[in-house]
Amino acid sequence: MIEPWMSADDIAEHLGVTKHTIYGWINDRSMPAHKIGRLWKFKASEVDEWVRTGGAAVVEEDDEK
pLDDT tens-digit readout, 7-32: 999 999 999 999 999 999 999 888 99
> 5 versus 29: which is more confidently predicted?
5
Cβ partners under 8 Å of residue 22, min gap 6: 8, 11, 12, 15, 31, 40
pTM: 0.80
Which pLDDT belongs to residue 64? 55
Residues 15 and 51 sit within 8 Å (Cβ to Cβ) = yes
Cβ partners under 8 Å of residue 18, min gap 6: 12
- Local structure of 28: helix, strand or coil: helix
Residue 4 predicted with pLDDT over 60: yes
pLDDT tens, residue by residue, 36-47: 999 999 999 999
